[in-house]
């Protein structure tokens, strides 16, 4: 058997040359085989092609390790590497303008044939000046060296459909190729015993591919970019979710906590009560399950070390009214910017809904106190029992450089249910009473009306206080309930009955019992919010009576704007977003009423930055609208599937009688954090470095640099980047 290895570059036609040789010998009655092996399928990359010729059928399909002869299509590939595995007296056929004798010295002991195939191909218009196709020209030299006649070459070209320019070039090569040492045809030869088989053109010392300057023919080059991960873009608090999760993936929990504290002083709270839009937006949902960001935030805030605040030099005084998450967030950010903040709270304790609304079984008060303490340590002075009305607000504007008002939603929506008024409580008052230990519903049948978080919290609290029977009546269906879905699920698990499509209209007394008359509803057309409108059902079963001892109304709340200076409000989409004539800013639920803790935190932070910008002209507001790293940019095949890690929960017995925290959190965060794809943000996985065929990428650990003198623009780095950070652009 005769085995030939062809060394070339993508685009030069090496595999076709292998076919031509095989076809020529096949026509002479031999068994032949031709195939190529690519380093990467692209123009300019080193490739190898192989030919086998034998009298018997060829059953070996392996790559050729010990060729009888080698053919080199590109002058830049000529070097000692092509001798690897070449049999002792094997012929070498080179495309080079250099003299045969000169090269014979390098390849002592071998027959060396040379032909300037590049010039011949260019003269004959084969390929382009930048990438000439030299295969047919080289066929002329191969034929001459192996004893094929030119008629046999012509017949082969005809068979394979090659045109006249190819034949002219081949003929010129056939006639002008020269050889040194021992001219001769293709012969079988035996390998020297003990020689090592050939592998590639890689540098035998470094293992690196040969450094070949790119020239001017590359058409594309890689560019690194940073995209916005969907978790970051959907976080209402403005957290850098990806960065904190990546730190957690290295078990660097102090660092992860520091990242969270840049934007939010309440990570332990959000890690417990946030509806986590980041988890809904996570690209991993398309693959298996989104990363459990909420539990990671909780873990980091419970296990990371809280830093000691660095007190800033105080330059001006700012007043904040309301100590819910919006007021707390603004106070924290303003203090970090070097303002002295006075925080005015109408209640006797700080925290707003976090203290008076959300029950302890979801948010233990020690977590709230830890985070409040951290905020106050930044030099915030808090005043409780300090209700601010319109006159007091005017006063504040005289003594402070600016005022931020975040008084939340204070007006509860009601429903006139007639007679049994004393049995009807507002949900928010009930929850505050629970917090103060003043509510007693033991043994009572409780009906909660509403579908939001207040309704679910009131129902689950009543259950824990020993209510014998708890029903939630909601006028739409479960799918339309604004409460956090997991909370609805938990309420049902705890034995609370959800009666959908039911609207209470009237109460009457039956002794100590309240008879609550309800109307059955059906869903009609969607309202402007997209939720389907409930409309009254008709027919005999449309009205029914529920008997109970206590009715809790949780129908939502609205803002009390009587605190704001009259007549000079600024409106946006029908909502008040500020006032003129005084440096007063508003935020949290009072402003846009997005209704989540995270949104209130984000609103407080943005207000702080606006205040700082107004007072100093220094604009720190992030207005970048970076492109979001969508799921289609993530190469999911590079990640293993892994189920989401979930935290534990306490037993149902404990849930029935105590306000102990239901969720116990993760026991380890790094494993869950490692599920993060780090969408659109380089996390130094170094796949680009590993896969770059030219070795033109270097890094100092942080910065990655492409050497464009040698980069061929193959795009392997971009194709291998799992997170869409590398983009190929046209030069």
Candidate residues 347, 433, 647, 715; the one interacting with ligand FAD per rule CB under 6 A:
347
Select the residue interacting with ligand FAD from 156, 263, 301, 454 (CB under 6 A).
454
Helix (H, G, I), strand (E, B) or coil at 285: helix
Angle at 568 between CA 565 and CA 573, to 5 degrees: 115
Kindly state whether residue 278 participates in binding ligand FAD, applying the rule CB under 6 A. Answer: no
Shortest approach of ligand FAD to residue 262 CB, angstroms? 20
Among 104-112, 148-156, 206-214, 582-590, the segment contacting ligand FAD (CB under 6 A): 582-590
> What are the structure tokens assigned to 676, written together?
């993060």
Q: Does 597 bind ligand FAD (CB under 6 A)?
A: yes
Rounded to 5 degrees, φ, ψ at 652 are -65, -35
482 part of the interface to ligand FAD, by CB under 6 A: no
- Helix, strand or coil for residue 546? strand
> How, if at all, do strands 178-180 and 69-72 pair?
unpaired
| Upper half-sphere CA count for residue 92 (Cβ side, 13 Å) | 34
The yes or no reply on residue 268 touching ligand FAD (CB under 6 A) is no
Residue 223 in 3-state DSSP?
strand
Residues touching ligand FAD, count (CB under 6 A): 39
Cα–Cα distances (Å) from 679 to 227, 280, 525, 674, in that order, read 8, 14, 38, 13
Contact call for residue 274 and ligand FAD (CB under 6 A): yes
The secondary structure of 315-362 as a DSSP string is -EEEEEE--SHHHHHHHHHHHHTTEEEEEE-SSSSS-THHHHTS-TTT
Residue 513: which H helix or E strand, with range?
Answer: strand 513-526
Contact status: 327 vs ligand FAD (CB under 6 A):
yes
Residues from 402 through 421 that contact ligand FAD (CB under 6 A): 406-408, 410
Residue with Cβ nearer ligand FAD (92 or 662): 662
When asked if residue 345 is in the footprint of ligand FAD (CB under 6 A), the reply is: yes
Cα-based distances in Å from 441 to 82, 466, 469, 552: 90, 7, 10, 11
Do 388 and 346 meet the contact criterion of CB atoms below 8 Å apart?
Answer: yes
Q: For residues 660 and 647, is the Cβ–Cβ distance under 8 A?
A: no
> Locate tokens 């080059």: which residue?
221
Which one, 610 or 723, has the nearer CB to ligand FAD? 610
Helix (H) / strand (E) containing 545: strand 543-548
CA angle 341, 347, 352 (to 5 degrees): 75
Between CA 43 and CA 41 the distance in angstroms is 7
Please, what is the end-to-end C-alpha distance for the chain in angstroms?
47
Q: How far does CA 502 lie from the centroid of its chain?
A: 41
State yes or no: residue 279 binds ligand FAD (CB under 6 A).
no
CA–CA dist 318, 334 (Å, integer): 8
Instruction: Tell me: does residue 218 bind ligand FAD (CB under 6 A).
Output: no
Question: Which one among 198, 388, 498, 521 touches ligand FAD, defined by CB under 6 A?
Answer: 388
> Does the protein bind ligand FAD through residue 71 (CB under 6 A)?
no
Q: Is 353 in the site for ligand FAD (CB under 6 A)?
A: yes
For the CB of residue 590, give the shortest distance to ligand FAD in the complex, in Å: 6
The one segment of 189-197, 343-351, 438-446, 704-712 that binds ligand FAD by CB under 6 A: 343-351
Nearer to ligand FAD, 74 or 345 (CB): 345
| Binding of residue 428 to ligand FAD (CB under 6 A) | yes
If the CB atoms of residues 52 and 425 are measured against ligand FAD, the closer one turns out to be 425
Question: Interface with ligand FAD includes 275 (CB under 6 A)?
Answer: yes
- Asked if residues 307 and 256 have their Cβ atoms less than 8 Å apart, the reply is no
- Contacts (CB under 6 A) with ligand FAD, residues 306-325: 321-325
- In the region spanning residues 538 to 567, those forming contacts with ligand FAD, defined by CB under 6 A, are 563
Q: Which stretch binds ligand FAD (CB under 6 A): 197-205, 222-230, 587-595, 664-672?
A: 587-595
Q: Nearer Cβ to ligand FAD, position 325 or 680?
A: 325
Q: Which is nearer to ligand FAD, 138 or 320 (CB)?
A: 320
Can you tell me which of 507, 596, 645, 678 binds ligand FAD, judged by CB under 6 A? 596
Among 165, 212, 346, 626, binds ligand FAD (CB under 6 A): 346
The span of 31-39, 151-159, 203-211, 596-604 binding ligand FAD (CB under 6 A) equals: 596-604
Phi, psi of 69 (to 5 degrees): -145, 155
Return the number of the residue (330 or 688) whose C-beta is nearest ligand FAD.
330
Q: Between residues 531 and 592, which has the closer beta carbon with respect to ligand FAD? A: 592
Q: Write down the H helix ranges in 576-697.
A: 597-616, 652-657, 670-673, 687-691
By CB under 6 A, tell whether 120 contacts ligand FAD: no
Instruction: Check binding of 352 to ligand FAD (CB under 6 A).
Output: yes
**Per-residue DSSP letter, 70:** E
Among 28, 98, 190, 387, binds ligand FAD (CB under 6 A): 387
**Residue closer to ligand FAD (CB basis): 143 or 600:** 600
CA proximity to 449, closest of 420, 424, 419: 424
Note the residues at the interface with ligand FAD (CB under 6 A): 273-275, 321-327, 344-347, 352-353, 357-358, 387-388, 406-408, 410, 428, 431, 453-454, 457, 484, 563, 588-590, 595-598, 600
């Amino acid at each position: 058997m005769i085995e030939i290895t062809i060394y070339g570059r993508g685009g030069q036609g090496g595999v076709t040359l292998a076919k031509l040789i095989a076809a020529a010998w096949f026509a002479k009655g031999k068994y032949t085989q031709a195939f190529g092996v690519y380093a990467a399928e692209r123009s300019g990359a080193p490739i190898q092609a192989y030919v086998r010729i034998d009298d018997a059928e060829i059953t070996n399909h392996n790559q050729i390790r010990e060729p009888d002869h080698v053919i080199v299509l590109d002058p830049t590939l000529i070097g000692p590497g092509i001798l690897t595995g070449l049999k002792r007296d094997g012929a070498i056929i080179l495309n080079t303008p250099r003299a045969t004798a000169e090269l014979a010295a390098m390849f002592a002991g071998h027959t060396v044939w040379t032909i300037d195939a590049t010039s011949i191909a260019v003269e004959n218009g084969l390929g382009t000046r930048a990438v000439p196709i030299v295969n047919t020209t080289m066929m002329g030299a191969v034929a001459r060296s192996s004893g094929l006649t030119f008629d046999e070459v012509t017949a082969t070209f005809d068979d394979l459909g090659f045109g006249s320019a190819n034949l002219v070039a081949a003929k010129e090569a056939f006639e002008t190729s020269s050889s040194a040492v021992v001219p001769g045809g293709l012969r079988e030869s035996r390998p020297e015993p003990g020689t090592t088989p050939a592998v590639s053109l890689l540098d035998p010392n470094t293992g690196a591919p040969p450094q070949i300057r790119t020239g001017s023919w590359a058409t594309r080059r890689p560019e690194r970019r940073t995209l916005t991960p969907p978790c970051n873009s959907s976080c209402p608090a403005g957290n850098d979710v990806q960065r904190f999760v990546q730190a957690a993936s290295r078990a660097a929990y102090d660092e992860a906590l520091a990242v969270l504290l840049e934007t939010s002083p309440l990570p332990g709270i959000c890690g417990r009560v946030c509806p986590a839009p980041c988890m809904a937006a996570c690209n991993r949902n398309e693959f298996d399950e989104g990363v459990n960001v909420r539990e990671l935030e909780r873990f980091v805030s419970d296990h990371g070390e809280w830093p000691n605040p660095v007190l800033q030099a105080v330059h001006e005084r700012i007043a904040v009214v309301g100590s819910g998450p919006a007021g707390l967030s603004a106070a924290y950010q303003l203090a970090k910017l070097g303002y002295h903040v006075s925080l005015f709270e109408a209640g006797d304790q700080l925290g707003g809904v976090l203290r008076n609304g959300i029950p302890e079984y979801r948010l233990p008060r020690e977590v709230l106190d830890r985070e409040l303490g951290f905020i106050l340590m930044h030099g915030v002075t808090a005043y409780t029992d300090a209700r601010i009305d319109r006159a007091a607000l005017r006063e504040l504007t005289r003594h402070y450089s600016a005022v931020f008002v975040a008084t939340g939603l204070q007006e509860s929506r009601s429903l006139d249910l007639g007679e049994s008024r004393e049995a009807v409580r507002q949900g928010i008052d009930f929850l505050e009473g629970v917090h103060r230990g003043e509510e007693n519903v033991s043994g009572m049948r409780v009906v909660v009306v509403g579908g939001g978080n207040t309704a679910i919290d009131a129902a689950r609290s009543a259950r824990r206080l020993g209510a014998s029977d708890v029903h939630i009546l909601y006028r739409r269906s479960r799918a339309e309930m604004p409460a956090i879905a997991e909370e609805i699920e938990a309420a049902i698990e705890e034995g609370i009955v959800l009666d959908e499509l039911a609207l209470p209209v009237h109460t009457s007394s039956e002794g100590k019992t309240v008879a609550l008359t309800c109307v059955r509803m059906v869903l009609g057309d969607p309202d402007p919010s997209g939720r389907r409108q409930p409309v009254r059902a008709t027919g005999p079963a449309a009205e029914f009576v529920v008997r109970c001892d206590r009715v809790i109304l949780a129908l939502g709340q609205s803002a009390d704007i009587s605190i704001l200076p009259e007549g000079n409000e600024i409106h946006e989409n029908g909502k008040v977003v500020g006032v003129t004539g005084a440096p007063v800013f508003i935020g949290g639920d009072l402003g846009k009423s997005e209704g989540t803790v995270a949104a209130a935190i984000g609103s407080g932070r943005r207000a702080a930055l606006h205040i700082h910008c107004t007072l100093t002209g220094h604009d720190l507001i992030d207005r970048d609208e970076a492109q979001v790293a969508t799921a289609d940019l993530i190469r999911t095949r590079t990640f293993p599937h892994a189920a989401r890690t979930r935290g534990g929960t306490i037993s149902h017995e404990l849930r029935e009688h105590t306000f102990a925290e239901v969720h116990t959190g993760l026991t380890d965060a790094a494993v869950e954090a490692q599920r993060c794809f780090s969408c659109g943000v380089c996390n130094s996985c170094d796949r680009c470095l590993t896969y770059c065929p030219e070795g033109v990428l270097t890094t100092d650990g942080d910065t990655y640099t492409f050497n464009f003198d040698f980069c061929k623009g193959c795009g392997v780095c971009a194709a291998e980047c799992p997170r869409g950070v590398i983009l190929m652009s046209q030069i």
